[in-house]
Amino acid sequence: MYIYMPSDTSDDYTYAEYVDMCTKIVTVFTDSDAVAFVAAGDFNCRSGSRFSKIFDQFLVQNDLVCIDINHLDSVFTYVSDDGQRTSWIDHIICS
């Protein structure tokens, strides 16, 4: 199943949409018979961003762990074509 996380455009709509998408992720797990949960992808929540606060609350409230938080320094999953922008865009969360 694909769930597309919104990008933060600093408005109330994308904030509410991000919260809604986090809820949908948990609903997929709770509505299933699965005993474990793993989700991976681009959660659009850089450290310190408005969405990172929601993401952190989402993890705590649902007893989930983000296993990629301690990734290596100076290692990126995205580098722009011109090499000027980098980011760690992927997260892996699990129960």
pLDDT by residue for the chain (95 residues), tens only, comes to 678 889 889 999 999 999 999 999 989 988 999 899 898 888 888 778 899 999 999 999 999 998 876 666 677 777 889 989 887 667 889 99
pTM over 0.75: yes
pLDDT in the model for residue 54: 93
Q: How many CA atoms lie within 13 A of 13 on its CB side?
A: 2
